[in-house]
Structure 1
Amino acid sequence: MITPAFELTQDPDFLTVKIRVPYARASEFDIYFEGEDFKFYAKPYFLRLTLPGRIVEDGREKASYNTDEGTFTIQLPKEVPGQYFEGLDMLTSLLAPKKSRSAKPLVEEIAASAELSEENEEEFDWEMEQIPYEESTPPLQHPYGFGNLRSGVFQRLQDELSDVIDIKDPDQTPAEERRRKRLAAEAAKFEPDHYLADFFEDEAIKHLLKYKPWWIDAHKKMTALQGESHQEHDSPAFVIFSEEEREQMRKFTNKSYLLDKRSRQHAYLGLIDILLAYCYEICVNEGDKNVESSWNIRKLSATLCWLESFSSIHDVLVSFGRRVLCYPLYRHFGLVTRAFNDTVMILQLGKAAVLKCLLDIHKIFMESDPAYILNDLFITDYCIWIQKVKSKKLAALCESLQKTTLSKSHMGLELEELEAAAVLVQEEEKALKAAGTVSKQQLLCSESETSDSEESSSTSSSETEGSDSDEQESSTSEDGEINSFQGTLQEERTAPLIDCNGLRQGTDTSAVEVGDGKSKVSLQSTTPPGKLVEELEMQIHSAMRLSEQPEGLATAGCISQEREGSPVPKPDRFSEDAAGKGNFLEVSPKPNPLLFLCSTNED
């Protein structure tokens, strides 16, 4: 037989059961209901439910079939109109447990004794100090898993599980030794530089803290509705399961857990630890799943990673805070506080919200290899067990969690001292920078004062030089003025020389000297004497000679002299200046002979 997909809803007078049975014959189906029992059969589908309230058959019941969707919709009258049926979305708990085929079961649950015992027991003090647990099992069989109900698993799967948990050989490691090793590993892993980097450069952290998961809106709706009416509202009004999540619940095998008081305490505290890690994962990835999601959840939860069994809520919070500051990418205490607040909201929404988170964790681990083994050790049992937990138990757990305080000093990592030291270092650096700026400004001011004094001294010296220059000018006027031809020769000396072949020669190959006592024209070359120097000397002498000849003769003479290779005679025409002081070379007022020579040669 196949268990069909089903869904239960209610109103004040009726309980509605919607069953999806595709490809079934609508004409061949049976329905039976009485009290808390409901049975449905349509070949090959069979469904049997144990309802949380009583229903009656009084003629108001209705049933309909939708051929397009292949669904039966059955309305059943409530025995007590207005009664609220709690836990209609806990599908696994609604499926009746399978009866044993043996004549007498070895362990029998009579009249839901486990639930009755929880119902009648006194209120649990979550803050009470616990006596260290004395191991009663054999040394090689230390328990772990949900409610400490498993042992010996890692002896068979040590190779597969070495990447899933941090504790080595947990079957031979007592709980106290696991805790000591965990604390030592966290202390060794803590990196002050990483923590301070996230503490001071927290732009990314602030962005992540703005993300709002689904439970924030659901919690706001619940709070607003409770403010309008003081009546109690169950979380299914605010928490909706998807069809995939419903299918997950239908696949679970319904079973009961016989837990003593201490085992139930470990189960509740482990649930908080797992929810804290899950809330951190959702916040830092903004609701998206990636390849690191499985690692984040199991690494931040000491329950999953170290098989830890906590004794108080404060120990759970301290363990989670330390692991957040040691292992993941973002290590900020603000993320610890955010995960704490989110866990409180989830617990306040009720077991439906808790179950929705556990189903998501179950899916993440199922898609991760080899983290799926954690589903068998913890998550699957939590998904089944939470559906049967009374709402008032979660409310008491949430209230105790809210009363627990957590600060940086509880981490045992000297966070406040690190932050204070880092702030002092920053202040010293700012002070040094400020001092450096002031000294730089003082240096600039002193340099400006020095420059001002230098300018004043240069001004006085320039005045002195001005008086000296006046005296020199007067003396020069007495001796005679320098002829303007000296400036012409200076221009020719600095101008580039171009030979008759169009090649540009260096500007420092020749110099013309003019003396006061006598006129002298000489060639001084910085390069070794050679043919090139002789040719340049000939060209200059030719230019001086041709300056006295007509333009036509100059061209012919230059060409003939170059062809014959005869030297040009040195000029010997000198005359006195108007003042009769000093000799100068008389040059006709024509264009530059060198340029004229080159232009004529190119023609």
Structure 2
Amino acid sequence: MITPSFRCSQHTNTVHIEIYCPAVRAADLELHVDDTLVSAHINPYFLRINLPGPVTEDDQSSAAYDAATGYLNLTLTKCLPGQEFKDLDLLSKLLAPRQPATSPGPPSIEVLSDDPSDIGPTEEDEYVDEAAQLSDRMHQLSLERQEILKAAENDWQLPQEIPSPFPLETAVKKQYGFLNRHSGYFAHVTHTENEVNELGADAETCSLAVRRSLRLKHEQDRWDEEHYIADFADDEYIQELSRWKIPWLGQNDSASPFEFTEDENTTMMRLPRKEYLMTSSDNHNLYLTLITILFSFIYETRTTQDDLNPESAWTMCTLIPAFSALDPPPYSASTQSSQPASFLPDIGISISHSTSTFISPSNPNPPSQLATALIPSYRRSLIFPLYRSFALSEQCRADVAQILQKGQRVVTRCLLRLKDILDHHEVYYVYSKIWLDDLCVWAQSHATDETLKAMGDQLAQVKIDKSALGLDLEELEAAVRRLQNTDSEDEDDSSDSDSDSSSE
């Protein structure tokens, strides 16, 4: 069966579904409506969507096929007149399977007598006892199911647990990517021109601790002080890039309603249709990974002035630790630098690490986790790309905060643009497979506007100290200023001597 392209809209009392199915016989249409679930089958197309609210077929409903355009137009009546159906433009969310209903409660046991002296023990008592035990087991299973479902909810405020320092690793092949669901994509990485991969031939077998260690070593090996000093001393063009306004980022949201383009809708239609059973910790870490991905996307957008091209794939993938080293957040403050352990207490962000608070609209203090998650992105933006400036990285952080503040749809659009770049690259498409396909679905079905906007508000307040990067930026910049001051004094002395000689 072929899943057709479609789009949904609504009026006060009806929902309209336009399905593109050219060259079919309208008489073959099979339409089934069950509460929120709508399925339409017209050979060879089959569409099943789960609407945000219940609909029904009645006298106001209709189905009309336009052979000239190839569109099948369905009109269904809302069960609750006037109800607003949200997220009708998030096609991946509509295509997601309907969530199973919660398990019914345990069966009741009728008590025939509460006085044990009324009747003696009989064979029926044994059946009652067995029924009671079965009821208890079913009730326990129901409670466990509720805990699992509750753990899978989008709850950003979860208590942090310190991971075991030495987890037992038994499998030869390691999982990576979205929720550690993937493997095998880098089995022959040495035979491809993958210049992003920093793990070499061991990408499939490295544990997370080894990946992180290799990433830090690679960053330190590639760190070029002279390049950073040159960009710091002559930063006229970098300042121009920092001042440049991203056109689509500065648009007024209230000026016109947000609409996905036809290409974006087509891409969302092709996304995998999966259900993700994740814990709150998994969901939390995906938000942190999202920040690092948006940082790389906005860095390349700003430095190319929104002229993204296939060559941008290398830069964006390189800036994302989850891509280049298969090392996603969360990170700890003690693993952000390759400096000796004795030096680590002096490396920190300007926010206390003692707090375990999580992002929420009611928490005005920016959590340290946001800054810690961005430190590898800052480091890599100063080590690998063409323009290396701490001020430019700061501007990118502010841009990411603005994207998050705009909510779910703008975030999804950024992910789709990055996915489109990688999908058309003959090597780096693998990173779209192991991360972006699932992340685009997650952004529509699990990420919420409230959480994203709260993250954006707090990310805008985060301040990362240069000392947190472990690259001695402050010393290098101080050396440049001293050299510039010395040159300025020499020029002044030279001009003074020239003026004295001319006066004589």
Q: Which bin holds the TM-score, normalised by the shorter protein?
A: 0.7 to 0.9
1:272-421 paired onto structure 2 within 5 Å:
272-311=291-330, 312-391=369-448, 392-421=450-479
1:149 to partner: Cα distance: 2.4
Which structure 2 residues correspond to residues 502-541 of structure 1 after superposition, within 5 A? Answer: none
* Post-superposition offset of 1:297: 0.7
Distance change >3 Å, CA 48–CA 201, structure 1 → 2: same
Quote the offset at 1:296 in angstroms: 0.9
Contact 2:158 2:281 in 1 (8 A): no
- 1:142, distance to aligned residue in structure 2 (A): 3.5
Q: Is the 8 A contact 1:135 1:142 kept in 2?
A: no
Note the C-alpha offset of 1:294: 0.4
Which of 443, 454, 457 pairs up with 2:501? 443
**Residue 2 (str. 1) matches residue 2 (str. 2):** yes
**Matched pairs, number:** 420
Helix, strand or coil at the partner of 2:175: coil
Matches within 5 A, 1:494-573: none
Asked whether the 8 Å contact 1:175–1:309 carries over to 2, the reply is no
Q: Is the Cα–Cα contact under 8 Å of residues 154 and 161 in structure 1 kept in the other structure?
A: no
Residue identity opposite 1:184 in structure 2: K
Q: Distance in 1 between matches of 2:287 and 2:482?
A: 43
TM-score (ref. length: structure 2)? 0.75
Q: Alignment partner of 1:221: what SS? A: coil
Question: Higher relative contact order by CA 8 Å / sep ≥ 6: 1 or 2?
Answer: 2
Query: In 2, Cα distance between the equivalents of 1:161 and 1:417?
Result: 37
Cα distance change of structure 1 residues 241 and 302 upon mapping to structure 2, 3 Å threshold: same
Cα gap change, 1:38 to 1:334, in 2 (>3 Å): same
Superposition map of 1:9-24 within 5 A: 9-24=9-24
Residue matched to 1:586: none
CA shift, 1:21, in A, is 1.7
1:147 to 169, 179, 192: 179
Q: What is the rounded CA distance, in whole Å, between the counterparts of 2:306 and 2:427 in structure 1?
A: 23
Q: Is contact 2:212-2:327 (8 Å) kept?
A: yes
**Counterparts in 2 of 1:419-498, with a 5 A limit?**
419-446=477-504
The answer for the alignment partner of 2:269 in structure 1 is 250
C-alpha displacement at 1:115, in angstroms? Answer: 6.0
Q: 2:222 touches 2:384 (CA, 8 Å); kept in 1? A: yes
The verdict on how the C-alpha distance between 1:114 and 1:26 changes in structure 2, with shifts beyond 3 A counting, is farther
Aligned 8 A contact 2:310 2:424 in 1: no
d(CA) in 2 for partners of 1:53, 1:214: 36
User: 2:177 aligned with 1:177, yes or no?
Assistant: no
CA RMSD, 1 decimal: 3.0
Q: Secondary structure at the match of 1:119?
A: coil
Structure 2 CA distance for partners of 1:171 and 1:161, relative to 1, 3 Å: farther
Q: Give the deviation of 1:153 after TM superposition.
A: 4.3
Tell me which amino acid in the other structure corresponds to 1:119. Answer: E
Query: Conserved in 2, the CA contact under 8 Å of 1:165 and 1:306?
Result: yes
**Shift of the alpha carbon at 1:364?**
1.0
Is the contact between residue 148 and residue 263 of structure 1 (CA under 8 Å) also seen in structure 2? no
The 8 Å contact of residues 135 and 174 in structure 1, kept in 2 or not, is answered as: no
Counterparts of 1:141 and 1:97, CA distance in 2: 31
Give the Å deviation of 1:434: 1.4
Cα displacement string for residues 431-464 of structure 1 (whole angstroms, at most 9, x for unaligned residues): 1121122223333344xxxxxxxxxxxxxxxxxx
Q: Which residue of 2 aligns with 1:164?
A: 196
Q: In 1, distance between residues paired with 2:501 and 2:478?
A: 34
Partner of 2:229: 196
In structure 1, the partner of 2:140 is: none
Q: Any conservation in 1 of the 2:423–2:432 contact (CA below 8 Å)?
A: yes
Q: Is the 8 Å Cα contact of residues 34 and 57 (structure 1) preserved in structure 2?
A: no
- Residues 152 and 278, structure 2, Cα contact 8 Å, conserved in 1: no
Cα contact 1:358–1:383 (8 A) shared by 2? yes
Residue 266 of structure 1 is matched in structure 2 by: 285
CA, structure 1 residues 132+397, in 2 after alignment: closer, same or farther (shift >3 Å)?
farther
**2:158 corresponds to 1:124:** yes
CA distance in 2, matches of 1:27, 1:139: 55
TM-score (norm 1): 0.64
Asked if the contact 1:50–1:96 (Cα under 8 Å) also holds between the matched residues in 2, the reply is: yes
Aligned to 2:132: none
After superposition, the C-alpha distances for 1:510-548 in whole angstroms (9 at most, x for unaligned) are xxxxxxxxxxxxxxxxxxxxxxxxxxxxxxxxxxxxxxx
Contact preservation (8 Å) 2:193, 2:427: yes
Q: Which has the larger radius of gyration?
A: 1
Structure 1: gaps (5+ residues): 100-109, 226-236, 447-603
Quick one: structure 1 residues 425 and 441, their matched pair in 2 at CA, closer, same or farther if it must change by over 3 Å? Answer: same
Q: Which letter does structure 1 place at the counterpart of 2:469?
A: M
Q: Give the match for residue 493 of structure 1.
A: none
